[in-house]
Structure 1
Amino acid sequence: MRIATYNVEWFANLFNDAGALMDDDRWSGRRDVTREDQIAALGVVFKLLDADAVMVIEAPDGHARRDGVAALENFAAHFGLRARKVVMGFVNETQQEISLLHDPDAMTARHDPLGDQTGKQGARDAPRFDSVFRIDLDTDAAPDLIRWSKPPLEVAIETSGGTALRMIGVHAKSKAPHGARNKAEVMRISIENRRKQLAQCIWLRQRVEGHLQAGEPLIVLGDFNDGPGLDEYEKLFGRSGVEIVLGENGATGLFDPHARMALSRRLVATPTTARFKLPPDGRYLQALLDYIMVSPDLERRAPVWTIWHPFDHPACYGNALLRDALLTASDHFPVTIDIDL
């Protein structure tokens, strides 16, 4: 069985409010890419992925006036994908949902959020992801109240082979200093965003520990906007959010081989899953942001991880159609695991 995570940049811009594809020559949300070109590229990528389940990060939004479930299911029908049914979690206000696109013949899947709902004062013990987490992140003795702008998607799954497992789709807080007007603001906003990102990961780790203690097979996957050694602000806090979620100080850990490679810091080159143009000269920055973490029982099933990077993976580079599609479709590349479930 193949499980994937894929952050699709501005997927929402490719659909109208009813969820129909807008397959035309107008600009998409991607720089210098039309909607028809991005749609065609995404069709190639999803078709060749041929995954049983894809955790779509930045999925089309859904609310009273927008149907994000219909959008993804229409996309799947348009390209004849096996993964054609959608589970969406708590709707947010960012136009970037987290949705699971899956093959109903391979598995049943339902949104199954855990934890208690809270009021404005929040709770310290893994509240529901659409609620408020109370944690003291500094030395002022006052609790910080943390919310997810994109609440993680918790899915209960049973495969056609009879395996029950849990899946949590994640899009953690971006650390980019959006809105900063000078160097002082860049530092202040960057540190504030990192504190929020770490708090979200502590919250998520609490939920992970509950599943591990219950002996439940677990996959945590998505875009963490973070990773070991990714920026200089990590030194102020001593760890990355990814390390927190994986497990620290002898705690039962999750496993992702790319995270382990980055943590070892013994390699000249670290695996990367995203590629961004940076101002002012348009040079590219590459980063490891997307992960598929599995519980120890699933790791023992010997899954195989793949980053579908158009330049780093020989099969992706050798297929010109796929290589070009990956570059056109998004600024992130899919990550997959193949595992016997």
Structure 2
Amino acid sequence: MRLATYNTEWFSALFSRDNKLLYDEEPSRRYKTSRREQIEALGKVFQSLDADAVMVIEAPETDKKRSTVAALEQFSTDFGLRVSKCVCGFSNDTQQEIALMYDPRKLSAVHDPQGGEPPLSPQFDQEFHMDIDVDGMEDSIVFSKPPLEITLTTQSGERLRLIGVHAKSKAPYGAKDKDEEIRIAIENRRKQLAQCIWVRRRVVERLGCGQDVVVMGDFNDGPGLDEYEKLFGRSGVEVVLGEGGNNCLFDPHASAGLAQKFGGTPTTSRFYIAHEKRYLGSLLDYIMVPQSLRARAPVWRIWHPFDDPKIYSDLPLREALLAASDHFPVSLDIDL
């Protein structure tokens, strides 16, 4: 079984109001890439990925006229993908949904939100209360993109709980000077950590019920990613993974990032830094599994066109990955 997560940069901009792909030469939201170029690149990547289920981050939006499910199922039809069915969770107003595409011949998937009254953590479309600025008063935390909770059932009847996450960005957008940049960056990190604490509580609750939980998606964070992490002691990724005990999750790329103080670490994204005239690679995307699934010897892969020799030697796939998104897919092959 192959599970994958993929941040498909501004996928929504590639669809018309009636959920049809816009095969034209108009610019997409991807820098210097037409809509046709990005659509064809994404199609090539999904075909090559050939996953049984893909957690799509930045999926097309759902609103009064548009449908995430209809758009992604149309995309699947256009490119003949096995992942021909789609399920979406709580919609949001950012034009970036979280959705799961899956192969209905191999799996069934339903949106299965959890949550309740304290001591349980709340449902992800509600509010989570905690003191994030150390002023002795609880703050209200909400997700702009509520995580997608899926119950996945294989043909053999085995069940997994998937949690698809697109955590808050820590970038200080809108800052007018250095002081404001620092203030916004610290405020965003607090909110991002609070969201990860919320996800972590759900993980512990579900593992405590004997469920196998897989957390996957874009955390906009990773071990040692920025200098503000020192103020808080750990990254949001470390929070979700857990520390010690039987309820820890595992991702080998996160572990490599934690172990590496100097030298290269895995990366899942590639951004152009205009003022420095160079690209920056970051580890932002993860598939985290519990010890029960780790014992099945799963194999992770980052589909990075410059770090994976097999992908690098496949010129059409290499070029497609570079044109499709500023993130690269992460896959997990596991015996289920």
Separation (CA, whole Å) in 2 of partners of 1:201 and 1:124? 17
Structure 1 residue 218, shift from structure 2 partner:
1.2
Shift of 1:339: 0.5
Superposition map of 1:1-341 within 5 A: 1-116=1-116, 125-250=120-245, 252-265=247-260, 268-341=263-336
- Aligned-partner Cα distance in 2 for 1:134–1:257: 31
- For 1:340 and 1:257, the matched residues in 2 are separated by 18
What are the ranges of 5 or more consecutive residues in structure 1 without an aligned counterpart?
Answer: 118-122
SS for the counterpart of 1:86 is strand
Q: How many residues align?
A: 336
- What whole-Å deviation, never above 9, does each CA across 1:264-294 have from its counterpart, x for those lacking one? 1256210000000112243111100000001
Secondary structure of 2:249's partner? Answer: coil
Deviates more, 1:58-67 or 1:286-295: 58-67
Per-residue deviation, 1:138: 2.9
Partner deviation per Cα, 1:86-129 (whole Å, 9 max, x = no partner): 00000000000000000000100000000138xxxxx6741000
Residues 335/197 of structure 1: CA separation in 2 closer, same or farther (3 Å cut):
same
Q: CA deviation at 1:334?
A: 0.2
1:249 CA drift (Å): 4.5
**TM norm structure 1:** 0.96
- Over the matched positions of the two proteins, sequence identity in percent amounts to 59
Distance 2:278 2:65 in 1: 38
CA distance in 1, matches of 2:27, 2:243: 45
SS at match of 2:156: coil
Please state how far the C-alpha of 1:46 moved relative to its aligned partner.
0.3
Q: Larger deviation: 108-117 or 29-38?
A: 108-117
- Give the letter for the 1:108 counterpart: S
**Structure 1 residues 244, 251: CA separation in 2 closer, same or farther (over 3 Å shift)?**
farther
Q: Is the 8 A contact 1:124 1:133 kept in 2?
A: no
- What is the TM-score with the length of structure 2 in the denominator? 0.98
Give the whole-Å Cα distance in 1 for the aligned partners of 2:275 and 2:39: 28
Aligned-residue CA RMSD in angstroms?
1.2
3-state DSSP class of the match of 2:335? coil
State whether residues 219 and 294 of structure 1, in contact with CA within 8 Å, keep that contact through their aligned partners in structure 2: yes
Q: For the residues of structure 2 that align with 1:65 and 1:44, how far apart are their CA atoms?
A: 28
Q: Whole-Å Cα distance in 2 between the matches of residues 340 and 52 of structure 1?
A: 12
Change (3 A) 1:216 1:124: closer
CA distance in 2, matches of 1:124, 1:282: 49
The answer to whether the 8 Å contact 1:275/1:284 transfers is yes
Q: CA offset at residue 161 of structure 1?
A: 2.2
Secondary structure at the residue paired with 1:280?
Answer: helix
